[in-house]
Amino acid sequence: MALALTLAVGLPACSQQTAPVSGYTVVKTYPHDTRAFTEGLFYRDGFIFESTGLTGRSFIRKWNLETGVSEQERIVDSRYFGEGIVDWKNRLYELTWTDQVGLIYDIDTFEKVGEFTYPGEGWALTRDNKRLMMSDGTSFIRFLDPETLKETGRIEVTDHGVPVRNLNELEWVKGELLANVWQTTRIVRIDVTTGKVIGWIELGGLLKEAGVTGKQDDVLNGIAYDAAGDRLFVTGKLWPKLFEIKLAPQR
């Protein structure tokens, strides 16, 4: 999502029962562009695909994981605040924040080939092998047909009955939906058949390792997964590093 204008915490209150929490270990650290106001992130064919926000400064980029060097880039139309991205076959879909317009690109050339519309805000996208999943800053996840881009259903994400709001960047990992919770240091693990929270991943320790405070716009945001290599990557807005992490057992 966008700017850190208010402290809008989406976690259940501490006095309430919550799903188990996992820690992590850092496997490897990679360079990340500190100009990238990260909104969307995914891994494909050995590269990181990333979208960034801020009106007039948004771009989509394909970059080399090992070097951080951009292999391909496109500036998003200056009218739009770019948001999440996802790949589907030979297409790349991108949301915009408040314009209710999605952009469609050829994934090989980044040439724009179309648009689509949706009601409300657009925050993030991911997919499994049959549908797209979209967040809009609320506690709801929408399901979209990947060919028509029309909504086919939605779920509300809850932890022991409490809605989890501010769902942001998304990634599909081993049959679970992972989502950054905006302005927090946690990722929530979601069962998309029920909307119930399976667990939480606490990543607060990464702020110090990245050399950021997480108190302004430099919040945790960005999850990518290399299914073939079973590698999980996370980063944040304006962070100098992207981390490969391994999850610790839940507690």
Instruction: Give average pLDDT by consecutive 10-residue segment, the chain, 251 residues.
Output: 41 67 96 95 96 94 92 94 97 97 97 97 98 98 98 98 97 98 97 97 95 91 97 97 92 70
Q: What is the pLDDT of residue 16?
A: 65
Is residue 194 within 8 Å of residue 158, measured between CB atoms?
A: no
Interatomic CA distance for residues 164 and 156, integer angstroms: 8
Q: What is the pLDDT of residue 2?
A: 47
Q: How far from 50 is each of 13, 63, 111, 205, CA to CA, in Å?
A: 32, 8, 16, 23
Interatomic CA distance for residues 65 and 119, integer angstroms: 34
pTM of the model: 0.92
Q: What is the pLDDT of residue 216?
A: 86
